[in-house]
Chain A
Amino acid sequence: MPGLIEANLPALQVVLPLVAAPICAMLGKGSRAWAFATLVAFLAFAISISLFIATYGGQVISYEMGGWAPPLGIEYRIDVLNAFVLMIVSGMAALVLPYAHRSVAAEIPAERQPFFYTAFLLCLTGLLGVAITGDAFNVFVFLEISSLSTYALVASGSWRNKRALTAAYNYLIMGTVGATFFVIGIGMIYMITGTLNMADLATRIIEHGDSRTLRMGFVFIFIGVGLKLAMFPLHLWLPNAYTFAPTAVTAFVAATATKVAVYVLLRFMFTVFGFDYEFQAETLKNVLLPVALVAMFAASLVAIFQDDLKRMLAYSSIAQIGYMLLGLAFLTHTGLMATIVHLFNHAVTKGALFMVAGCFILSAGTSSISSLRGIGRDMPWTTAAFVAGGMSLIGLPLTVGFISKWYLVQAALELGWWPVALLIMASSLLAIVYVWRVVEAAYLKPAPEGVTRREAPLSMLIPAWILVGLSIWFGVSATLTTTAASRAADVLIGSSQMLWEE
């Protein structure tokens, strides 16, 4: 029996939350649905840890869904990159769900909560599926499972603020357009290769060589995924969706959904199209590089002028996605490492910060920065968590944000791209401004008269502090994450180069 479970871990990773989701809906009111969902998230996390350990050394797990051999059957192909992303996603779920109990209770009526957790597990399923599968069309299906459930989750913020409905609607329209672009792209490469298995695609694309159809396929996939990951200027859905969704959802989605989309981009660009596909290299340099740089500045500037904490963090996310895309645009080993390590680092940091925002909302009833004056005294632990998370966002030493920035700048300097290195640094100065606005308000301004704000409950504080702790731990000792990222970059570069040589 243990052998059977072990052999089928890749399938269980996805199937477990998928099957658990409808069960959750049937558990009725009360805490049962929540407890069940949390249990499932922890199991999923355990599975992804074991997958990560199994692949950390550079091994690749290939799992044939239903026993059908690839390339015809669907293959789950797990290398260190997938496993890393799986761990981020399921780990965040395992942290957000304990947090969600109190937070969701305050934001969503009791009779709706089981459905909320159902949607949450479906979202988890989708994200895990995207990360684990080795089949291009399967990516689309899972992407849509996660997106559809995210739309529903965002809309469930409407009990607190009705604008969540329009936010979800706009997200749905743009998300669906993105997904459809993605399918068109897959259709194009299917047309010329006749296969959907990623590894197989890679070989056949090389055999086939460059062509106009291939380029079109690449562009459609690039734009489609760009919409999903809120690549500037395709980010318009993100600020409202993050602002008006229930905080637990924001914390989870901000930490995982865009990261998974970045993973998809990485996978398609480097595994499928190949690391030295010339058209891609040009696109990266001429399109992605400027786009990423503009995102870093434009979004940070907008963030400075937001009064709502959640909205500010949302814009900051767009800027941080700019960092990830920038690392990608360098098209070097160090650049990819920076992107991959930032996937994790930003997930941890942003997750923590959104959780803190949720604590503020619970206690102070608002996330408007001007009404957070003097809150450092009333909610010392929550505010301290914000400061620590904010430092990581800025990229100060001893936090994970510093590690990302280090590799990003190193990548820029390796190429001799001086201005880019200075721009990266300059944009993190903007982060200081928007983080410090909050710090100043929280600590150095007097609290409004007659307002009582209680420290957030432990069930919310502990997950937030675990994330803060992780962001410090992996900022002080980043060997694990950077080694994983380095090997993942090897996988992305190495696998395709090997194929090109054949």
Chain B
Amino acid sequence: MSDIVLDLDFVLGHYNYWMFVILMMTGLYVTVSRGNLIKKIVGLNLFQTSVFMLYISMGKVIGGTAPILLDDPDTVYSNPLPHVLILTAIVVGIATTALALALVVRIRETYGTVEEDDILKLEHEMDFGTQAHDGGRH
């Protein structure tokens, strides 16, 4: 039975993971549910940022300091490797965002809208002609 009792220490002790989970879920939800192409990108960014948080927080060693080598052998350092990894991941994220925004600009130029629903309508018309659409749902 004791398994089911809410272990507050456990919950609070892992608060960084909770933040990660909440951010990740929010980001994913925004990406999936929004019809606006820009908002999707915002969601995607949120989603990626959550992962950065995960990595950075797991590199933290309690009582550790920034990993800049000092002469003192007793100094405790945080693990620098995840931070370096995330530096790379951030670069990848920026590149993705930039490319996505560039695509949105082009989509706006060609379709005249950044709303997914409108774009789908236009594409539907391209496939089946205007009439088919007019006879459709209203």
Contacts and interface: CB of A to CB of B under 8 A. Distances in A.
Interface of A: 137, 140-141, 144, 148, 151-152, 155, 158, 162-163, 165-166, 168-169, 172-173, 176-177, 179-180, 183-184, 187, 190-191, 196
A158 B104 CA distance: 13
Contacts of B31: 173, 177
A342 B31 CA distance: 34
Interface majority SS (helix, strand, loop, mixed), chain B: helix
A187 B48 CA distance: 13
21 contacts: A140-B89, A144-B95, A148-B99, A158-B110, A163-B123, A163-B126, A165-B106, A165-B111, A166-B111, A168-B103, A169-B37, A172-B99, A176-B96, A179-B92, A180-B48, A180-B51, A183-B89, A187-B54, A187-B58, A190-B58, A191-B58
B111 A162 contact: yes
Interface majority SS (helix, strand, loop, mixed), chain A: helix
**Could you say which of A173, A180, A187, A190 has the most chain B C-beta atoms within 10 Å of its C-beta?**
A180
Closest 6 CB pairs of A and B: A162-B110, A144-B92, A169-B103, A165-B107, A165-B106, A176-B96
A243 to B, nearest CB: 12
Contacts of B28: 177
B119 A148 contact: no
**Could you say which of B58, B106, B111 has the most chain A C-beta atoms within 10 Å of its C-beta?**
B106
B40 A187 contact: no
B55 interface: yes
Contacts of B106: 155, 158, 165
Nearest to B100: A172
Given A162-B110, A184-B54, 18 more contacts: A140-B89, A141-B88, A148-B99, A151-B99, A162-B111, A163-B123, A165-B103, A165-B106, A165-B110, A166-B111, A169-B37, A172-B99, A176-B96, A176-B100, A177-B44, A183-B55, A187-B58, A196-B85
Contacts of A172: 96, 99-100, 103
A430 to B, nearest CB: 24
Contacts of A183: 51, 55, 89
Contacts of A177: 28, 31, 44, 47
Contacts of B123: 163, 166
Contacts of B99: 148, 151-152, 172
B17 to A, nearest CB: 10
Contacts of B119: 166
B35 interface: no
Contact of A166 (B47, B51, B107): B107
A368 B107 CA distance: 25
B51 A187 contact: yes
Contacts of A166: 107, 111, 119, 123
A137 B88 CA distance: 10
A163 B51 CA distance: 32
Interface string B15-57: 0000000001000100100000100100010011001001100
Contacts of B44: 173, 176-177
Contacts, number: 75
A137 B85 contact: yes
Contacts of A158: 106, 110
A137 B28 CA distance: 22
**Could you say which of B44, B88, B100, B103 has the most chain A C-beta atoms within 10 Å of its C-beta?**
B103
Contact of A169 (B55, B58, B89, B107): B107
A135 B47 CA distance: 24
Contacts of A184: 24, 51, 54
A154 B2 CA distance: 55
Nearest to A154: B103
Contact of B92 (A141, A162, A191): A141
B92 to A, nearest CB: 5
A236 to B, nearest CB: 12
Given A155-B103, A163-B123, A169-B104, A187 B55 contact: yes
A141 B81 CA distance: 15
Nearest to B41: A173
A148 B107 contact: no
A169 B31 CA distance: 12
A155 B24 CA distance: 28
Interface in B91-138: 92, 95-96, 99-100, 103-104, 106-107, 110-111, 119, 123, 126
A176 B89 CA distance: 12
Nearest to B27: A180
Nearest to B85: A137
B49 to A, nearest CB: 10
A168 B119 CA distance: 14
B4 to A, nearest CB: 17
A158 B55 CA distance: 38
Contact of B48 (A152, A169, A176, A190): A176
Contacts of A155: 103, 106
Given A180-B48, A180-B51, A184-B51, A144 B96 contact: yes
B62 to A, nearest CB: 15
B10 to A, nearest CB: 13
Interface string B50-84: 01001100100000000000000000000001100
B122 to A, nearest CB: 9
A163 B58 CA distance: 42
A400 to B, nearest CB: 35
Contacts of A152: 99
A196 B82 CA distance: 10
A155 B99 CA distance: 10
A165 B111 CA distance: 10
A263 B31 CA distance: 28
